[in-house]
Chains A and B, each alone.
Chain A
Amino acid sequence: MTRWPAIVVLAAFASIPLWMENLYFLHILVVTGIFIIAAMSLNLLLGFTGQLSLGHVAFFGIGAYASALVSLGFEVHLTEDFAVGIGPKPVWLAMALATAVAGLCGFAIGKIAFKVRGAYFVIVSISFAEVVRLVAVNWVELTQGPMALNNIPALKLGVPGLIEISFLRKPAYYYLVLAAAAVSYVIIRRLVNSQAGRAMIALRENEPLAVSVGIDVTRYLVLATVVSAAMAGAAGALYAHYVRIVDPDIFLFIYTVTMVIMVITGGKGTFAGPIVGGVIFGSVPEVLRALAIQPELQWIAFGLLMIGIVFLLPQGIVPAVQGWWQSRGKTPPQGGPPIEAGSGAQQ
């Protein structure tokens, strides 16, 4: 199967800053893009591995805080006399470290949380996010608590003196987010299509059966969590250096809700699902705002839309569209149909 539809979509998105002059619209795409990356990471857990994690915003926030703190420098006193700290570091290093830290947290949480499944796992994931949020609020010496970390530096790449690209302004940041999204997409695709990915899907479809054929369930769950957490952390770092202020509000439950909506309405377990769901539910609030109806009504419309899509297309938009394409006798484009266990088909 060819890859060209994906490349065309990428090119289409890449062309937008060239003809779209309205920076407000670009801003929406940037923020949506960041949340799409987080949604794609959630899709790995929710869609491909079948675990409903409602604490995903914790990794997003950890990534944001880690990147902000490393780029600003920090110092904490672990005891009365013993302080630990580092000076401000370049933003690209901060972002990389943030991704690693988030991944590490994913590893730790994965090992703990996957002792349980289903409804219990949901609660553990929510609890984890809440505890992280409360630490961010209360460990004021490190995180500034609700007083917020502001004046976070923007990303600058290049060789000082020779060339320097600043990612302060929008078109540049848009391309950065687009590139990160593309890389994330490729990583997820590779992972799901690998042996590890097949094991994860087997897990999702029938865990006892997977165990009985010798698949090391915990190992693959933890792997999925690490990749997922690292990606969410990277998204958080991108957020931190775009909005350039981080405070405990980054752990607001509404962000988890946003990611979950993007994944499920787009189509969990598909590659294009989070992207389609993301573009739609990232822009819907702004479209509702443009309609200039009363704020409460905007929210109500948003809630009704969510319910409506779930009722009409419970599998998500992408599988529905693909089903429609298939029923017309055409082969579905390379957006990625839901991977079914035992299909074995290389996509």
Chain B
Amino acid sequence: MLDQFLQHCLNALMLGGTYALLGIGLTLIFGIMRVVNFTHGELYAFGAYMMYALVMRLGIDFFAALVLAMALGIVLGGAIELTLLRPLRSSDIDITMLVMIGAWIVLQNSEQLAWTGVAQSIANPFPAEPLVFGSLSVSWNRVFVLLVAMFLISATYFLVNGTKLGRAMRATFQDRETAALMGVRIERVHTATFALGSGLAAASGALLGPIFVVTPTMGDLAATKAFAIVILGGLGNVVGATVGGFILAFAEEIGVAYISSGYRDAMGFLLIILILLVRPTGLIAQKERIS
């Protein structure tokens, strides 16, 4: 009994890291820019497909490919922001959302056109035998992903809280007009934020691609979970998204273990609804109830 519980906790820990990574990218975009970013899942898939192309088709070293995939995600994110979002800067949230949905459709079907719908797998340099502690086991690959995720999360936190760019982002988030008056280049901040958020999504995809498989529709479920995490943690809150990621992972694992596996994916949503009823600003976040 205890063993099983501990195994569930271990699983949740591994899963939580990846969920957190998904969440912080989106919390920056959805939280700061208020863009209902339906392309987030596609950047995730893009990262995975780039990993596939670099490692399996071009034979590039696994770790170099990871960095490259994230860089490509940043570039794609920046491109999307420049071409689709900047011209619509003054539009309503639903107009930008619609454009993001269109971009989602285009990206996903382009992926299917390029790689077909057949699931692809990416070879990884980790041993196939899992790491074993008594009766608990976990795969090396997942441990690696957790470590990298924590690194990226810390780096993002440092970027947002300790650098000039981060200050500019937070200023734009809190009060756009004043930030502009103070000389913050709003346009650049938007592009940088979107690019960064997209890069993090691509990084998640690149990290998780080798653990799972790569398909054109892989981003859909990831995106839904990302939105759940963002709400749990509060819009724009990096620490919140991290905590939210782990909470979601634990809720899912415990839910499957002790309630029912069918409702596993409902856990996130039920949590959201509950939390929004009780604490509308999310578990950790500060203000912003009526936008």
A residues whose Cβ falls under 8 Å from a Cβ of B: 46, 52, 54, 112, 115-120, 122-124, 126-128, 130-131, 134-135, 137-138, 207, 253, 257, 260-261, 264-265, 268, 294, 296-297, 299-300, 302-307, 310-311, 314
Residues of A within 8 A of B161 (CB): none
Point out the residues of chain B lying under 8 angstroms from A123, CB to CB.
227-228, 230-231, 272, 276
Q: Is the CB of A130 within 8 A of B265?
A: yes
Asked whether A120 and B273 contact (CB < 8 A) given A130-B266, A131-B266, the answer is: no
- Beta-carbon contacts under 8 Å, B237-275 to A: 260, 262-263, 265-266, 268-270, 272-273
- The listed residue (B105, B220, B263, B268) touching A299 by CB distance below 8 A is B105
Q: Which residue of A lies closest to B87 (CB)?
A: A311
Contact B273 A297 (CB under 8 A): no
14 additional A-B pairs beyond A123-B276, A306-B98, beta carbons within 8 Å, are: A112-B273, A115-B277, A115-B280, A116-B276, A120-B231, A131-B270, A264-B94, A297-B113, A300-B105, A300-B106, A306-B99, A306-B105, A307-B84, A311-B99
Select which of B34, B102, B262 is within 8 A of A134 by beta carbon: B262
- In the assembled complex, the Cα of A130 lies from the Cα of B231 at a distance in Å of 15
CB <8 Å contact, B104 and A303: yes
Q: Once the chains bind, are B109 and A296 in contact (CB under 8 Å)?
A: yes
Number of interface residues, chain B, beta carbon within 8 A: 47
- The answer on a CB contact under 8 Å between A310 and B266 is no
- The count of A-to-B residue pairs whose CB atoms sit within 8 angstroms is 137
- Across the two chains, which residue of chain A brings its CB closest to B280? A116
Contact partner of B112 (CB less than 8 A), chosen from A119, A131, A296, is A296
B98–A260 contact, CB under 8 A?
yes
A/B interface sample: 29 pairs, CB < 8 A:
A46-B94, A52-B93, A52-B94, A115-B277, A116-B289, A119-B235, A119-B291, A120-B280, A122-B93, A123-B227, A123-B231, A124-B273, A127-B270, A257-B101, A294-B113, A296-B109, A297-B109, A299-B106, A300-B109, A302-B105, A303-B104, A304-B102, A304-B106, A306-B99, A306-B102, A306-B105, A307-B102, A310-B88, A311-B87
Q: Which of B91, B101, B262, B290 contacts A260 (CB 8 A)?
A: B101
Contact yes or no, A118 B273, CB < 8 A: no
The answer to whether residues A306 and B101 also contact, given A118-B290, A128-B273, A130-B266 and a CB cut-off of 8 A, is: yes
Residues of B within 8 A of A296 (CB): 109-110, 112-113
Q: Which of B88, B95, B224 contacts A130 (CB 8 A)?
A: B224
Instruction: Output the least CB separation between A117 and chain B (Å).
Output: 5
State the Cβ distance, B219 to closest chain A Cβ, in Å: 12
User: B36 in the interface, Cβ–Cβ < 8 Å?
Assistant: yes
Closest CB in chain A relative to B215 CB, distance in Å: 14
Cα–Cα, bound, A122→B240 (Å): 19
Cβ-based interface call for B150 (8 A)? no
**Considering residues A46, A52, A134, A137, which has the most beta carbons from chain B within 10 angstroms of its beta carbon?**
A134
